[in-house]
Structure 1
Amino acid sequence: MMPDAIGIAATGLGLHRHWLDAIADNIANVNTAEPTSGAAFQARYVIAQAGPGTSGVYVAGAAFGSAIGRVTHDPGNPLADANGNVRLPDIDLGSQMGQLIMAQRGYQANAAVIDRAQTTYEAALQIGHGA
């Protein structure tokens, strides 16, 4: 039973790590300007899916935000068009920060499950060893 808990929590760690990576990319590129003739940076969102039975969770894929983004007036930008506009990603920094907190807490919770299950498993081995 304990190895199952460790394995399931490990799948949660992997999922949350991918989620944290996507959020970090989104936050890092929130102000990435592109020419209006091109596509904006597209935010990445991790799609999670439950494994069969009780085998944990895994990354089923990714969804991407709009390539249209938002056009902003920034005449000092070297990528600005003749009207002084650039294309920025349509990323809500507040939403990304909220997701960051949830992903961090999920990662921490799964790490705690692994730690406690491992400690319990080792204690059970010691009980059997002393008998």
Structure 2
Amino acid sequence: MTFDAIGIAGSALTVHRKWLDAVSDNLANANTVTGTDGDAFQARYVLAQAGEGTSGVYVAGAAYGDPEGRMVHQPDHPLADADGYVRYPDIDMASQMGQLIMAQRGYQANAAVVDRAKETYQAAIQIGRS
């Protein structure tokens, strides 16, 4: 039972870490400008899926944002087209910050589960030695 808890929480730690990585990439590239002849940075969203039985959770894949992004009129920008437009990613900073908080809290909660399960296992070993 204790090992199941450690395995399940460990798999969730991996998913939350990958979620944190994706959100941090999205936030870091929210203001990345491209010319209108190219694709905008595509936000990455982690797709998690429950495993069978007590196998925990895993990353099933990723979904990506719209490569069209959003067009912004910035005629002074060096990448601006003839009409003065550049392409920015379609990333909502407020949504990404919410995702960041959820991923951090999930990571922290699962790390606490691993710690408690480890403590329980160590206590069981001590009882067995007595």
The list of structure 1 runs, each at least 4 consecutive aligned residues, that deviate by more than 6 angstroms after superposition, is none
% same residue: 69
Partner of 1:85: 85
Distance in 2 (CA, whole Å) between partners of 1:65 and 1:24 is 15
Corresponding residue for residue 113 of structure 1: 113
Q: Offset of 1:60 from its aligned partner?
A: 0.2
Superposition map of 1:51-62 within 5 A:
51-62=51-62
1:31 equivalenced with 2:26 (yes/no) = no
Note if 1:50 corresponds to 2:50.
Answer: yes
Q: How many residues align?
A: 130
Report the secondary structure of 1:122's partner residue: helix
Aligned residue number for residue 124 of structure 2: 124
SS at match of 2:46: strand
CA distance in 1, matches of 2:77, 2:121: 59
How far residue 76 of structure 1 moved from its aligned partner, in angstroms, is 2.3
SS in 1 for 2:47: strand
Task: Tell me how far apart the structure 1 counterparts of residues 117 and 53 of structure 2 sit (CA, whole Å).
Answer: 20
Q: CA RMSD in A?
A: 0.6
Q: State the TM-score, normalizing by the size of structure 1.
A: 0.97
Whole-Å Cα distance in 2 between the matches of residues 76 and 14 of structure 1?
A: 43
Deviation at 1:54, TM superposition (A): 2.0
Question: Aligned equivalents of 1:128 and 1:54: distance in 2?
Answer: 26
Distance in 2 (alpha carbons) for counterparts of 1:57 and 1:7: 10
Q: Secondary structure at the match of 1:61?
A: strand
Q: 1:13-65 CA distances to partner (integer Å, 9 max, x unpaired)?
A: 00000000000000000000000011000000000000011210000000000
Does 2:12 match 1:9?
Answer: no
Alignment partners' CA distance in 1, 2:77 and 2:21: 28
The separation in 2 between residues aligned to 1:110 and 1:94, in whole angstroms, is 25
SS in 2 for 1:60: strand
**TM superposition score normalised by structure 2:** 0.98
CA distance in 2, matches of 1:95, 1:125: 45
